[in-house]
Structure 1
Amino acid sequence: MSLDAISPLLTVAGWELLSSLGPYSDAESLKLNESLRKAGHSPELVAAALTQSRLRAKAEAKFGEFAHQMLFTQTGLEQATRLSIAALHAQRFKAAGITRVADLGCGLGADSLAMASLDISVTAVEMDEITAACTTVNLMPFPEATVICGRAEETDLGGIDGVWLDPARRTTNTSGTTRLFDPEAFSPPLSFVEMLADSGKAVGVKMGPGIPHDAVPATAEAQWISVNGDVVEAGLYFNALARPGIRRAALVVGANGMHELTSAVPYDPAAQDVEVGPISGYLYEPDGAVIRAGLVADLARTVGAHLVDEHIAYICTENPVNTPFARGYKVLDVKPFNVKALKSWVKANRIGVLDIKKRGISTTPEVLRRQLLTGSGKGPNKATLILTRIGEDRVAVVVEPHGATGAP
């Protein structure tokens, strides 16, 4: 997106036109384009307004009603933090008594907006000119928020007592964008974050959820967050932002509120002292944040469960338990993984809808589903299979969700 794509909106007439548009509809966009141009609006303004109307509609999932007063870029929106999660970041700074924060790599300003709404003075820094222009508009309601177009590493932090960073984790080339996995390849790199933390400032940084445990600095608290089962980030917190006695945490956000599982020690794969036992009773699939945080063994100890395999993130209990940190299933049967035998089972039980989950096995659920349902007669029953392995053996576990009825 070029600056020309938003500049027509940065006038009274342009902003009024954008504000006058109703809910965006792909089906009606061409017709609306024609009617607006016939009304005398320039093609550039109409294109800019319709683009923002479309982006605002998409942004509702992350920004709610705030989206209707904001400007977006496609890339910025894809990478933007959900406003509800940005509020959690802001609350860390507020609870620590931090009053002046630099938001380095602010993107479209979600975190800056959340901090400013808590009366924290924010300096939002973004090196992309178009994104910075959008952020300036997005933060206009907050007089204590300032936007600077510049590089994070070159920002003057004089008078700043807290820093929030959201490093760029993608690189752009002629083929598009490519995700980066090495924290030192981020912009700015993790070493820059550690340097800021070494100065004593309250520092927090949003990292990708796939950050390896050995890359987490020893001085940081690491918190993985999932929203409705989707792991959205790993936040690292230093100095005043780090909570005493917590090194790793999994925060699970869902329809039933927020729940957190924590550990006071760094992750050690050799110290997961939980028994391994058979697949029986009730099988639980830990939330992705729990898995990423290395807290599967901790969860097992909490609910009195055992692992089904020391390398697989499934746990079992003989009796059902209620936990916000895992999805549970009643075990109905455990079968060897054999496509021909499973196909016969599907047909015999008149299964027409088959959910397949897997862990620790290379089979693609979509491909296997087609194989098993082809020629089955598409019966009226529904079933769920969980594919996994126990040692060297591959197994298919027939399950049903807690409280639900499935196929025989």
Structure 2
Amino acid sequence: MDIAAFRELLTPPGQALLAEAGEADVSEAGLLGTASRLRERYGADLVGAALTQVRLRRRAEAKFGSDAARMYFTQAGLEQSTRASVAAHRARRFASGSPAGARVLELGCGIGADLMARSRMGLTGDGVERDPLTAEVAEANVTAFALGGLARVRASDALDETPDGYDAVFADPGRRTARGRVFDPRSYEPPLDAVLGLAGRAPAACVKVAPGIPHEAVPDGAEAEWVSVGGDVKEAALWLGGLAGDVGRRATLLPADGGTAEEAVTLTPAGLDDPDVRPWGRYLYEPDGAVIRAHLVAEVAELVGGGLADPQIAYVTSDELRPTPFASAYEIDEVLPFSVKRLKAELRRRGTGVLTVKKRGSAVDVDRLRRDLGFGGRRGGYGDAEATVVVTRVGRDPVALLARPVRADADPPAPGRAR
């Protein structure tokens, strides 16, 4: 899709075509027929642009919910965009930490997800995007939601901008190339050091980074926040200046898409020493990925009254059931030396038909293990029971735990059950 086709898509005939395409069959099986039928009345480039938008909108529902039906996308822009719940969380932090009437400069605004989220919180500002087509897509999104009085978009290189006159900066450097994802902050576009230097000239700033950012790459005085949605780590951000909290790092857990902002929870350092190392207890706690990334496993161990079975592996074990949003709880049925033969026999004895395999600190290939345990085919398994196998190690010894998930609202079981 080029700029000319996209601009035509925003005209009344283009909007009529887009609405018609939205009601048509755009599946792989029906796409060719739909395109041929529409090309009888519209130009080929315009039809291609409309069908691209319809397909991208449907994919975007996972990130943007019902808003996706009114938004515009490029494929790269959708892949790199901030999902709506994370953008809303970040916008709330901007709003609560900024003066009334604050203006925000966004460097690398993409399709405008964060820009729109801040505008919905009443913040004004400008979005800058180097790619001209993506900049026009972002402007169209701002217009589609009647936010033009609060936000503007222009095509420009981030490094050509100055934060002078703005109260805060938000920067989202590119972390993808033609080869795929970029993990080295020096290879961001622009490089992270250059972005931090520019953002640091503003009274306050936030820089979006990859979740795998090394802790040593976090500048002094900044706050690093790792964010997960529904248990999946989505991103990290560095908060600077007036937007940085009084902690060096935090893990923020947002509910699965469709939840409410009030369900979000945050964990911060409590000044604890490393957790104790202890034998397996009655319960296994698997900390949320954001908690692990933020190096806050000790805080989870303290919350559940537990310790680590291995000091290098982020599995917490305890004799008590203390539900916490920061970790998933499992009741341990049995701890076995790792053996495929023994595990298979035990799963057969239990009549297991639904198997979940989790691992940490193990080189085991989960898909291959499932096949070796008899769960590789369409009719795999041995019955109707459900089981979770956790493969890990203690020191150099590989172990397998047979466990069952415990609901967050479950009552503690009666004491004394044998394992």
> What is the TM-score normalised by the length of structure 2?
0.89
1:385 to 370, 375, 389: 389
The whole-number CA distance in structure 2 between the counterparts of 1:278 and 1:76 is 48
Check 1:393–1:292 CA distance in 2 against 1; reply closer, same or farther (3 A cut).
same
Please name the residue that 1:112 is paired with.
115
Please name the residue that 2:46 is paired with.
45
Shift, 1:272, TM fit? 4.1
Please name the residue that 1:268 is paired with.
none
Please name the residue that 1:338 is paired with.
339
The whole-number CA distance in structure 2 between the counterparts of 1:285 and 1:374 is 24
What code does the residue aligned with 2:311 have?
E
Deviates more, 1:274-283 or 1:180-189: 180-189
The whole-number CA distance in structure 1 between the counterparts of 2:26 and 2:269 is 47
What code does the residue aligned with 2:340 have?
V
Q: Residue 239 in 1 paired to residue 268 in 2?
A: no
What code does the residue aligned with 2:383 have?
G
SS of 1:400 mapped into structure 2? strand
Please name the residue that 1:152 is paired with.
158
The whole-number CA distance in structure 1 between the counterparts of 2:109 and 2:91 is 13
Alignment of 1:218-237 (within 5 A): 218-237=220-239
1:262 to 264, 268, 274: 268
Shift, 1:220, TM fit? 0.4
Check 1:50–1:202 CA distance in 2 against 1; reply closer, same or farther (3 A cut).
same
The whole-number CA distance in structure 2 between the counterparts of 1:198 and 1:22 is 44
Q: Aligned-pair RMSD on alpha carbons?
A: 2.2
Shift, 1:345, TM fit? 2.0
What code does the residue aligned with 1:17 have?
L
SS of 1:241 mapped into structure 2? coil
Please name the residue that 1:69 is paired with.
70
Deviates more, 1:69-78 or 1:338-347: 338-347
Shift, 1:114, TM fit? 1.0
What code does the residue aligned with 1:306 have?
G
Give a deviation string over 1:167-195, Cα, whole Å, max 9, x none: 101222xxxx3222221221222222332
Q: Is residue 166–residue 202 contact of structure 2 (8 Å, CA) maintained in 1? A: no
Q: Residue 15 in 1 paired to residue 15 in 2?
A: yes
Q: Is residue 197–residue 239 contact of structure 1 (8 Å, CA) maintained in 2? A: no
Q: Residue 290 in 1 paired to residue 291 in 2?
A: yes
Percent of aligned positions with the same letter in both sequences? 45
The whole-number CA distance in structure 1 between the counterparts of 2:281 and 2:403 is 10
Please name the residue that 2:137 is paired with.
134
Shift, 1:393, TM fit? 0.4
> Following superposition, which runs of at least 4 residues in structure 1 exceed 6 angstroms of deviation?
374-377
What code does the residue aligned with 2:403 have?
V
SS of 1:6 mapped into structure 2? helix
Please name the residue that 1:168 is paired with.
174
Deviates more, 1:54-63 or 1:354-363: 54-63
> What is the TM-score normalised by the length of structure 1?
0.91
The whole-number CA distance in structure 2 between the counterparts of 1:371 and 1:264 is 43
Shift, 1:116, TM fit? 1.6
Q: Is residue 352–residue 373 contact of structure 1 (8 Å, CA) maintained in 2? A: no
Check 1:82–1:327 CA distance in 2 against 1; reply closer, same or farther (3 A cut).
same
Return 5+ residue gaps in structure 1 as ranges: 266-270
Q: Is residue 305–residue 320 contact of structure 2 (8 Å, CA) maintained in 1? A: no
Check 1:377–1:81 CA distance in 2 against 1; reply closer, same or farther (3 A cut).
closer
The whole-number CA distance in structure 2 between the counterparts of 1:374 and 1:216 is 43
Check 1:34–1:280 CA distance in 2 against 1; reply closer, same or farther (3 A cut).
same
The whole-number CA distance in structure 2 between the counterparts of 1:76 and 1:374 is 38
